[in-house]
Structure 1
Amino acid sequence: MKRSEALIPLSREHHRALVVAKRIQALEQKPENLLITYWRDVRAGLQQELELHFAEEERGFQNLLSGVHKERFLNDHQELRELLAKDDPEAIIRFAQCLKEHVRFEERDLFGWLEANHSRQLAEAFLAD
Structure 2
Amino acid sequence: MTSKKTRRFDEVRAGEALPELAIPITVPLIAGGAIATRDYFPGHHDAEAARKLGSPHIFMNILTTSGLVQRFVEGWAGPGARFGSLKIKLGAPNYPGDTMTFTGEVSGCDADKRSVEVTLKGKNSMGNHVTGTVSVVLP
- What's the TM-score, normalizing by structure 1? 0.29
Higher-RCO chain (CA-CA 8 Å, sequence separation at least 6): 1
The structure with the greater share of residues assigned to strand is: 2
The structure with the greater share of residues assigned to helix is: 1
- What's the TM-score, normalizing by structure 2? 0.27
